[in-house]
Amino acid sequence: MEKMVNFKGTLSPSNDAFVIFVSEKYEYQDEKNILSKDIVKKIDTFIEVLKKNKNSENINSFDISNQQKCYIFKIKNKKENNYPQEKGADFFAHLKKNKNIKKIQICIDTANFSKEKKSKFFSEFLFGFLLKGYEFNKYKTQKNIINSKIDYNVITSDIKRFMIEYKYYQAIKEGVFLARDLVSEPPNVLNPKTYVQEIKKLSKLGLKIKSYNEKELKKLGLNALLGVGQGSLNETFLVTIEWNGNKKNKKDPIAFVGKGVCFDTGGISLKPAKFMEEMKYDMAGSAVVVGLLKSFALRKAKVNAIGVVGLVENMPGGNAQRPGDIVKSYSGKTIEVLNTDAEGRLVLADALSFTEKKYKPKFIIDLATLTGAIIVSLGEEYAGLFSNDDDLSKKIYKSGEDVNEKVWRLPLHKNYDKLINSPIADMQNINYSGGAGSITAAQFLQRFILKKTPWAHLDIAGMAFSKKAASLNTSGATGFGVRLLNKLVKEYFEK
């Protein structure tokens, strides 16, 4: 469903519906006389009925005429950070039930707010409204689905002030939607090479993008990454994305690294057939990084940021990596590959060391659908957070709470670390003694942070995709992490 958002100063009778906003006591305002006297009379009569019946619903509606419906949206006096976005999403879900509405006007001036609060609240309201309306239907052929379109007109007398806030959230929405689109693409369409092509399209936004092919990766020594893809006919790539938004200080950029396994069969350590189709989502960490950098560029974030994604396909071909193989990583450390289905950590190992050495960042945050164990631990409510830095962890946690993309920190400890020691190499890629699967995976990654750079690992295996709808998304790809990391950067690291 395509959503066309326009901004106007007057109410039009040609629209199918409009919405006004009232307080918990059903108070509203109309200082600019957007509503005619006849409409005001009808609204007041309807509100009296709602009061008399002690109506508890937040959204009510009635027919203002044979051609137009009026929605009454009750805004409660709540201070939760995510409340406006969730209310916007609620309104979209409510509207979707009425398929006759093709044009609706959102009268934000009717809310009894100050100008500052009005701009902030309703830019977030519309943000949630748009996030909830995401659909991935490019492969559907039914014209009544792919051609559906609704025009949403925001009615306000203070368009200039509203647009400042709106453009910020629009940039984040674009990043979220790109992440969702990438995760939703089928694996026969989005292989590593076509993924690189999609990323390069972002160069028009001012992002500096470089891709490294297999020949270049071999020369550099990223053998852990290359080993994962050697059983696939599709070439392996590493892509760097640079955003230079702080021209005054180009030192110490912040860095984000993403796992981009475009399809994961498990390799020779083959996964069960049931639900294997979901392994197209195994590149979700990289999609978040790409979406995040796009949003930085769109909102002209005053920060220097690096995105690095390892793009690969894990297949059981004739040249596939075998359990028992030993590879020498970019860091120089050797890895005994005991299970080829623990491939994400091999991808990230080289990407992390490469990022740290090349860019010398202030911190590195990596994202990956890394372990099924994190879903056992935290379900679909929290991403797993692992870090070598308490301050960075606290900032990530707080940012997650603020935008309702929650993380929970789990421990790292030398006793977990020794579980991945190998008798014949520097380390092995799984913990054979059993237990603590997510923790030992994070311990493995930490070994590739060579210069004590502040680092955090987000295991988003339970958060990147959902079979059930949540407050700000329908079922499917969520784009989890784009909003969280935008909040982190804006709150703590922009100059």
Q: Say how far apart CA 478 and CA 467 lie, in whole Å.
A: 10
The reply to whether 409 belongs to the active site is no
The reply to whether 345 belongs to the active site is yes
Length of the chain, in residues: 495
∠ CA 124-405-20, rounded to 5°: 25
Which of 32, 161, 271, 398 is catalytic? The answer is: 271
Whether the Cβ atoms of residue 182 and residue 136 lie closer than 8 Å to each other: no
Task: Express the helix, strand and coil content of the chain in percent, nearest 5 each.
Answer: 40, 20, 40
Whether the Cβ atoms of residue 54 and residue 141 lie closer than 8 Å to each other: no
- Exposure b/e, 263-272, CB count within 10 A at least 16 = b: bbbbbbbebe
Q: Say how far apart CA 185 and CA 171 lie, in whole Å.
A: 21
Q: Say how far apart CA 207 and CA 210 lie, in whole Å.
A: 10
Residue 223, by phi and psi: left (phi above 0), alpha (psi -120 to 50) or beta?
Answer: alpha
> Alpha helix locations (H) across 185-266?
192-200, 214-220, 223-229
Q: Nearest to residue 223, comparing CAs of 316, 371, 349?
A: 349
DSSP 110: G
Q: Say how far apart CA 272 and CA 30 lie, in whole Å.
A: 61
Strand, helix or coil for residue 290:
helix
User: Please, is 235 exposed, middle or buried when counting C-beta atoms within 10 Å of its C-beta (0-12, 13-18, 19+)?
Assistant: middle
CB atoms within 10 A of CB 314: 30
Which of 173, 345, 395, 447 is catalytic? The answer is: 345
Sole residue written with tokens 């950067």 = 489
DSSP string of 429-483, one letter each residue: SS-TT-S-HHHHHHHHHHTT--S---EEEEE-TTTSEESS-BTTB-SEE--TTHH
Q: Nearest to residue 380, comparing CAs of 312, 467, 463?
A: 463
Whether the Cβ atoms of residue 209 and residue 203 lie closer than 8 Å to each other: yes
Q: Say how far apart CA 247 and CA 303 lie, in whole Å.
A: 9
CB atoms within 10 A of CB 165: 19
Residues annotated catalytic, as ranges: 271, 345
